[in-house]
């Protein structure tokens, strides 16, 4: 294993002093160290990976140094546009060091949403013309690889990727963890949502812990899972999946269970919800100010007023709920949507939290059948 501080020290010795990206579970120890070691002028957790690439480009233009951008391999999709149309050697020739967590690595067991990403991670980099190395767990070899990466970036002016396998970085516990206030856990809030929304409501839940907790709530209550679309991947897009359903099923209440990190990742989606004005749409943003599924790294969710943002973007009603009573009152409120309920919840989850037993395809099939049968 590689100590995060050793790896970062190698980058610093070569002039890198700015770090940005979106947290990943394979990089959680590295991200925790960077969060502790650098202030907000030298480390920014970006809204999405494309934003991170653009931030890093701006830093290079201002300083001439080579910044580091970290992401999960699923984030390559968000980063493709600025990598190819901005940083590429055929455009501006911007040297960026990419650290990419290799979820779904072939031969390593992972969740379904990571399998395809894992298969194409290296070939996608090849297609984009971005050279890469799979970072070694041997310190001396790692140093040689880092030197090779910087030599290429300096000579060619292109991005270069280091691929991070599971278990590469040694343990590091975040020391400067931010306390996040909340009288409810996310699971407690979800339990209330499931109880106080329409009996025939259609649910779309965001990737990560929210979908896992919703699944277990249904199990615990002896309820069917067919009314829930569990968006196990595609972070940030649950709100638009729910919108597509709401526009087609106008007589049914459609509930989007979102997270603050996911909502911020593609915030423009809220503008589309607000301007298309689906009256049957309820957007619940579970805000714990953290990327809970990948190590608890902070978001800016508690530094902005998402409920007010929703109003500014055209939602008919929007409230903030910090207590069970406030949440229940908001869920029972009458009036057309789209409605937003920002729920302030605590960080963290149960250690024994399970995962859905059905496959994504099975979930989709049962969900579509439920919608079709309910309309007969």
Q: Is residue 266 part of a domain?
A: yes
Residues 135 and 202 grouped into a single domain: no
Determine the pLDDT at residue 232: 87
In a shared domain, residues 51 and 14: yes
- Clarify whether residues 199 and 345 are in a common domain: yes
Residue in this structure with the two tokens 């931010």, named with its chain if needed: 178
Distance in angstroms (rounded) separating the CA atoms of residues 14 and 66: 8
Q: What is the pLDDT of residue 173?
A: 86
The pLDDT of residue 176 is 76
Q: Which residues contact 99 (CB under 8 A, 6 or more apart)?
A: 21, 27, 30, 68, 69, 70, 71, 161, 162, 164
- Per the domain annotation, does 154 fall within a domain? yes
Query: Quick one: 22 and 148 in the same domain?
Result: yes
What predicted TM-score, i.e. pTM, was given to this entire model?
Answer: 0.93
Q: Are residues 152 and 247 in the same domain?
A: no
CA distance 123 to 132: 11
Q: What pLDDT does residue 374 have?
A: 64
Q: Are 233 and 363 contained in the same domain?
A: yes
Looking at the fold, whether 227 and 362 belong to one and the same domain comes out as yes
**pLDDT values of the chain reduced to their tens digit, one per residue, 376 residues:** 999 999 999 999 999 999 999 999 999 999 999 999 999 999 999 999 999 999 999 999 999 999 999 999 999 999 999 999 999 999 999 999 999 999 999 999 888 889 999 999 999 999 999 999 999 999 999 999 999 999 999 999 999 999 999 999 999 988 877 777 788 999 999 999 999 998 899 999 998 889 999 999 999 999 989 999 999 888 999 999 999 999 999 999 999 999 999 999 999 999 999 999 999 999 999 999 888 777 778 899 999 999 999 999 999 999 999 999 999 999 999 899 999 999 999 988 878 888 888 899 999 999 999 998 766 5
Q: Which residues pair with 250 in a beta bridge?
A: none
In a domain, 139, yes or no: yes
Judge whether 173 lies within some domain.
no
User: Residue 273, SS3?
Assistant: helix
Final residue before a domain boundary, out of 164, 196, 231: 164
Give yes or no: residues 43 and 153 share one domain.
yes
Q: Please give the mean pLDDT across all residues of the chain.
A: 94
176 inside domain: no
Residue 180 domain-assigned (yes or no): no
Contact assessment for residue 356 and residue 363, using Cβ atoms and an 8 Å cutoff: yes
- Cα–Cα distance measured from residue 343 to residue 185, given in angstroms and rounded to the nearest whole number: 10
Inside any domain, residue 321: yes
Q: Per the structure, how many domains does the chain have?
A: 2
Range(s) of the domain holding residue 151: 4-164
Within a domain: 174? no
Same domain, 277 and 211: yes
Domain match, 159 and 218 both:
no
Specify whether 253 is located in the same domain as 290: yes
Does 146 share its domain with 216?
no
Q: Identify the helix (H) or strand (E) that includes residue 370.
A: helix 360-374
Q: What is the domain-level CATH number for residue 18?
A: 3.40.50.970
3-state helix, strand, coil in the chain (%, to 5): 45, 15, 40
């Amino acid at each position: 294993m590689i100590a995060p501080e050793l790896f970062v020290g190698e980058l610093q010795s070569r002039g890198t002093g700015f770090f940005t990206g979106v947290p990943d579970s394979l990089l959680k120890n590295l991200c925790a160290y960077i969060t502790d070691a650098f202030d907000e002028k030298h480390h920014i957790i970006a809204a999405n990976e494309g934003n991170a690439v653009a931030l890093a480009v701006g830093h290079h233009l201002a300083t001439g140094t080579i910044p580091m951008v970290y992401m999960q391999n699923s984030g390559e999709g968000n980063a493709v546009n600025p990598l190819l149309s901005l940083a590429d050697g055929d455009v501006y020739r911007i040297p960026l060091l990419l650290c990419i967590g290799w979820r779904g690595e072939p031969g390593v067991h992972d969740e379904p949403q990571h399998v395809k990403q894992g298969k194409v991670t290296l070939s996608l980099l090849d297609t984009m013309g971005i050279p890469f190395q799979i970072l070694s767990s041997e310190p001396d070899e790692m140093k040689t690889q880092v030197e090779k990466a910087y030599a290429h970036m300096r000579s060619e002016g292109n991005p270069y990727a280091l691929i991070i396998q599971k278990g590469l970085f040694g343990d590091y516990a975040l020391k400067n963890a931010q306390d996040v206030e909340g009288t409810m856990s996310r699971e407690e809030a979800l339990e209330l949502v499931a109880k106080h929304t329409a009996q025939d409501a259609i649910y779309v839940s965001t990737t990560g812990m929210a979908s896992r907790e919703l699944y277990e709530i249904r199990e615990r209550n002896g309820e069917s899972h067919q009314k829930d679309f569990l968006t196990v991947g595609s972070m940030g897009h649950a709100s638009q999946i729910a919108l597509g359903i709401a526009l087609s099923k106008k007589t049914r209440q459609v509930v989007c269970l979102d997270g603050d990190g996911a909502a911020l990742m593609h915030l423009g989606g809220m503008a589309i919800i607000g301007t298309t004005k689906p009256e049957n749409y309820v957007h619940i943003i579970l805000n714990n100010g953290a990327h809970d599924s990948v190590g608890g790294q902070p978001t800016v969710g508690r530094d902005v007023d998402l409920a007010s943002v929703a109003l500014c973007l055209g939602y008919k009603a929007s409230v903030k709920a910090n207590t069970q009573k406030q949440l229940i009152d908001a869920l029972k409120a009458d009036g057309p949507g789209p409605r937003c309920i920002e729920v302030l919840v605590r960080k963290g989850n149960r250690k024994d939290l399970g995962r859905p037993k059905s496959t994504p395809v099975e979930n989709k099939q049962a969900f579509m059948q439920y919608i079709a049968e309910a309309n007969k």
